[in-house]
Structure formats: structure tokens, C-alpha cells
Structure 1
């Protein structure tokens, strides 16, 4: 799991390939990456792909939620 949240202090740890970032919830922004088709947490300029449940946990800790829903108008699209 690339996200650890301490609910008592709102300190969050984002774990990616060869990187471990720590900060408070409000220092983190969650955005939608259109190419990956998933959420990404941004802290100190670094982008870490996360699951939707991890994004929800970060927002509870105070992260800025800048996600947007993606949809495709093409027939048969699962999005």
C-alpha cells in the first residue's frame, strides 16, 4: 500500500518507486491523471499513483481533492 495515514496527527506517508515522502494531509493534492485513468497524490512536486480508497483516506486527513470524473462518449466505453 503506497499510502500510510496517522489519523491522530494527520501525517501522511506516500510510498513510490524508490521514494518515500512524508507530510501533513493539507500539503497533499489529489488529482486525476487522464492517461493513467487513476488518481495521483502530489507532495513536494512528486506524483504517486494511488487507489480510490487511498485517495479517500488522504482527503479525510485533509488533502486537497482536485479529482474530476472522467467519462468517454464513445459507444461501448466502460468509462
Structure 2
């Protein structure tokens, strides 16, 4: 699902419907079960690409991603 970033405000769809948040209010996390980056909005995980995650960090989001290794417990790699 593509996201759109304009003037440090992020627009995207979640299970709760269309959402808009300032990038500074978002934290990008890693879902270890899916080995994907996501942001949590209203309790919903919105999965994003690594390019989208990088764009969000440039816009001001907090980068809380954990880089998984094949030897990590629970790693899908």
C-alpha cells in the first residue's frame, strides 16, 4: 500500500480507514514474524516497504527498526 508524504505529513490507509499523521508522531518498527517494517496507527499495523520507511525517517519519523539476522531467535530469514 503506497503512502504519500507532503510537508512532513503522512497519508495512508489502515484497517480503520484513511489516516493522516505528522511524521514526527510515527515510529517505524520491525515485525519479526513477517520480517517487514510497519507503523502502528490506532492499534493497527500498517506494513510499508523499506523505501517508504526510509522516506518516513527523512520526513521526521522515528526509526525503531531492528535489523534481523538469520541467527536471531524468531528470525524469518
SS in 1 for 2:55: helix
Q: Is there any run of 5+ residues in structure 2 with no aligned partner, and where?
A: none
The one of 25, 46, 49 equivalent to 2:47 is 49
Q: TM-score with structure 1 length normalisation?
A: 0.80
Unaligned stretches of 5+ residues in structure 1: none
Rg comparison, structure with higher value: 1
Kindly report which structure 2 residues correspond to 1:1-79, keeping only aligned pairs within 5 A, or say none.
Answer: 1-6=1-6, 9-17=7-15, 19-73=17-71, 79=77
SS of 2:53's equivalent in the other structure is helix
Give the distance between the partners of 1:2 and 1:18, measured in 2 at CA: 16
TM-score (ref. length: structure 2): 0.81
How many residues align? The count is 74
User: Alignment partner of 2:28: what SS?
Assistant: strand
Asked whether the 8 Å contact 2:29–2:64 carries over to 1, the reply is yes
